[in-house]
Each structure stands twice: as C-alpha cells, then as structure tokens.
Structure 1
Amino acid sequence: MDEYSNRSRLRYREKRKKTNIILNSLIAIVILLILVVGFSIFAGNDDAAPKNPDKTQAGQKAGSPDKNSGNNGESGGQDSTHGDGTDDKSQDDDESETDEDTGDEEGEPVITEGGSSPNVKRTIENQDWKPVGTSQTGDHQVVVDSSSPDWDEMHTALAYAIGTDKNNMTTWWLERDKSKEGGAIGTVTAKGSDQAYRVYIEWVDGEGYKPVKVEELYENDKK
C-alpha cells in the first residue's frame, strides 16, 4: 500500500513538474512577444521623428532661412521677397508711384446754391477739369455743326462734365457762348435720367474743349 502511494505521488509530482514547465514556457513566449511588439512600436516612432532635432533647432535659432517662408532669414535693413515675386522695396516704389498718380486725380468740386437763372438748382465748378483732347490743328473757330470735328469733341467734353459717356447722353441744346470767345453751352441729360444740366465748355488751343461750369437745373428748359 505504501509502495502504491509513493508511486502515485511520484507520478503526480512529475506531471505537475511538466505542467509547470509548459506554463513557464508559455509565459516566457508571451513576454517575448510583448517585448518584440513594443520594440517594433518604439522603433517606428523613432524613425518618424527628426533624425537630428537639435541641429534643426540650432539652425533656426541662428537665423537660418526657412525655405517655406518668404524672408531671407536676416533681420533689419534687408529687403524681403513676397510670394508674388516682389520685394518690399519694389512694393514701396509701387505705392509711391500710386501716391503720385493720385495727385493727378480731380480735386473736390466747388458747389454753390443757385446760378445764372432761377431754374438753376446749384452750380458745380472744378478747377481740375482738363481738356478732352483734339485732332484739330491751326486756328480754331467754334462750329456748332454735326458734320464738323467740333461737334464730336464738344459732346465728349459735355459728357465728361456730367460724368457719363457721350454715347449715353442726350443733347437737347448746343450753341456758341456769345459771352466768351471759344466757348459753347449745351443742355444735356444722361440717358435714363430726367436730371438736366446746362454745361459750359471752352476751347484750349492744342488741347481741345474742357468743362468750365455745370448748372444743375430744376427742369429741362430745352425739352
């Protein structure tokens, strides 16, 4: 009986020992797999990171140019290039030219109430009005005739005075200004508008007609 018990215990111990060996082997395999997977993950992150971040930071701190920016990487006194290919100096020059060009624009008109007759609501004058140009040369006489060069050039000046195109304007009356040599007077309206204007123009030798005065009328007295 004792011998049988001893054999049973021995077999139990051997079986338990084998079971422990198998369990320990499985645990070791699991740990090994965990280590392998973890190493792969960390190794992948290292590859995605910059290889030499210290060098990159040092270069930026030292003022090295950023290829994604438009600056040359230097501070103070240097012209920088913009994305459209222009630099600050060129842009400043362009702005200066623009400022100079605005000097050629017309100034504010002088507006006064009333005018040469009770039908005048207000009178508009602007010293910056300019001649409209001419194709005529030599001595000039005001000719109110639709077949003359004067006719077209006078209409250009009349339209310029009221701020429209001569093709978008109706002329109700046009005559020589007997009170001024080289002058003419026209009553006009812009197409689609009932507002009538009496426009005074005068001839400038070699430059054509230019507006002198515009009277805004209460009603069209030439209609």
Structure 2
Amino acid sequence: MNTRSDMRRKKNKQNIILNSLIGVVFILILIIGGNMLFSGDNDTAEDQQNSSAAKESESNGQDEDVKITEEENSDEKSETAHSDQKKNKNQDQDQDDHKSQEDKNEKDDQEKDDTQQDENEANTDGADEPIGTDQTGEHTSSYEKGSVDWNEKIKAIQMATGLDDSMTLWRLESGGGPQKSVAKVSPSDEESWMYVVNLQWVDQKGWKVTSVDKQNR
C-alpha cells in the first residue's frame, strides 16, 4: 500500500524527468535555431560574395566589351581612314592621269594641226624670185597644155604650193593681163579647198608667184 510519502517521491521523480526532458528540448531548439541562424548568415554572406563576384565579372565583361568595341572602332576608323586616303590617292592619280592624257591629246592635236597646216599651207619660199625660163625673145603667155610656157607655169605653181604632179588643176587662166596668170589647184585627194596662185611674168627670168591663197571650194 503506497503511502503519501511514496506518492510524493514518485511525483517529484516525474517532475524531475519532465523538467529534464523540457531542458533537453529547449537545448535542442537552441542548437537548431543557432545552426539555422548561422547557416542563414553564411548563405547571406555567400550570396553577397557571389553577387559581388558576379557584379565584378559583369563589370570586367563590360570593360572588356568597351575595350574591344573601342579597339574595333579604332581599327574601323583606321581602316576607313586608310581606305579614304587610298581612294583620294586613286582619285588624285586618276585626275593626274586624265590631265596628262588631256595634255597629251592636246599636244597631239596641236602637232597634228601644225602638220596639217604645214601640209596645207603653200610653200612660198623664193616666191619673190622668178623660177627661170628656157624661153627667149618676146614672151607670149600660152594656155596650151604641154607647151613650154604652160609647163613653166605649172613648175612655178608646184614650187609655191609644195604639190607634185598628182595635184588637181582646177583652172589655169589669164590673171587680168597678158603677162599675168591665175591658177586654182589642190592636193589630189582634197576637194573641200584649193590654192589660188597668182603669177607674174618677168622678162628673161620666167614666171614669179606673187601670192598664194587658200580658199574653200
């Protein structure tokens, strides 16, 4: 039969066990809560480190991108400047070549004109002097082809104009007096213009060319 004291001891023992269990649970709560707190702080610190590292990496990446972009822009500007310089140089060279070609063409044209002019202009060297004659006695101008006087007229004309036997004789007639003649001649392959040659007879000296004019036909 349990006595009151036994019941009190039993109750005290139960209280001690209960209090011990409560203490153990409280300690476990403290331990778990501390671990969770420290774990959260570590995670926060790690997140902050990771965030800082990511920002630094992103910043470095942006710096690299900016550096690369600047280098690309610099290379592009350099290439553009080189291309523009080369283009300008080629344009200057083309202009120089074009000008040189124009100068050459102008010089060639001038030389051609001078040559053509030399060919077209009459050779009046010695035109002030009679050509000489085989005729004697009183002179009578003759317009009979093949006569001595005719042949001397032709010789004087050729000497004055520089033409040869292939020249085209358009007309040979009196020049307004018994001792004057006028001839119209041109190169054999020319029909657009002609020489008008005036001749004067000088006694004992032959026919003398007094003028040579170039006219359109």
Q: Aligning the two structures, in what range does the TM-score lie when normalised by the shorter sequence?
A: 0.3 to 0.5
With normalisation by structure 2, the TM-score equals: 0.40
With normalisation by structure 1, the TM-score equals: 0.39
Structure with the higher strand share, 1 or 2: 1
